[in-house]
Structure 1
Amino acid sequence: MGLILLMIAGAAIFAYWNAARAAAERAEQLGRNACEAAQVIWLDQSVHATGMRLRRNEDGRLGFERTFRFDYSYDGVERHSGRLVLRGEQLVSFVGPVKPTVVPFERLN
């Protein structure tokens, strides 16, 4: 009986670790793509998990919402932090570099 419980606990720990690793890889991919699209330097080539909490998904099931931080630079000198939140593998929040755009100026008459 004790061996079965140990195996169940081991399987649960492995499933949690595997899901956390997959979320970190997805966050890394999203952070890298955002920096590339905004034409900024992605620093440290990694993301850092900063938080995790239980949240309901769109289907009503409980799941983990994980928050990650990454660093980027516009000029290679100043360092800025970006943040993204994943619920499962879905991106639900992003704060970070944006692609520079030019807004045309309109004269008021």
Structure 2
Amino acid sequence: MPSLILLMIAGAAMFAYWNAARAAAERAEKLGRDACKAADVLWLDQTVHAHGLRVRRGEDGKLGFERSFRFEYSYDGIDRHIGRLVLRGEQLVSFIGPVRPSVAPLER
């Protein structure tokens, strides 16, 4: 009987981990898609790829997972560039990718 309880606890922990990983991937996908749309570039392959997983402390001091993802985008449909983003929980902590072009005025 105790082994059944341990098996159920392990199953629940694995489900919770899988569910959190899936939610993070969906959030990363939305962030990557929105960034490409805002920068007016093509979001390639319509997906993000999990790139890394680390245990980090959040701003509240609690341990949690920090997941990094990568995605690809193109300015003209021919070239390919890699974008990266890092999520700590649901919070975006790092982003490298397409940006909206802007022109800064020259000082005289």
Normalising by the smaller structure, the TM-score range is over 0.9
Q: CA deviation at 1:103?
A: 1.4
- Tell me which amino acid in the other structure corresponds to 1:101: S
Corresponding residue SS for 2:99: coil
Number of equivalences: 107
Corresponding residue SS for 1:106: coil
Q: CA deviation at 1:102?
A: 1.3
**Structure-to-structure mapping, 1:56-71, within 5 angstroms:** 56-71=57-72
Root-mean-square deviation over aligned CA pairs: 0.6
Q: CA deviation at 1:96?
A: 0.1
Q: CA deviation at 1:105?
A: 2.1
Corresponding residue SS for 1:91: strand
Return the TM-score normalized by structure 2.
Answer: 0.97
- Tell me which amino acid in the other structure corresponds to 1:35: C
Where does residue 77 of structure 1 map in the other structure? 78
Q: CA deviation at 1:104?
A: 1.6
- Tell me which amino acid in the other structure corresponds to 2:29: E
State the alpha-carbon separation in 1 of the partners of residues 36 and 76 from structure 2: 13
Return the TM-score normalized by structure 1.
Answer: 0.96
State the alpha-carbon separation in 1 of the partners of residues 32 and 4 from structure 2: 42
**Structure-to-structure mapping, 1:1-109, within 5 angstroms:** 1-107=2-108
State the alpha-carbon separation in 2 of the partners of residues 25 and 72 from structure 1: 17
Corresponding residue SS for 2:82: strand
Deviations 1:1-34 (A, max 9, x none): 1110000000000000000000000000000000
Corresponding residue SS for 1:3: helix
- Tell me which amino acid in the other structure corresponds to 1:17: W
- Tell me which amino acid in the other structure corresponds to 2:67: R
Percent identity of equivalent pairs: 78
- Tell me which amino acid in the other structure corresponds to 1:21: R
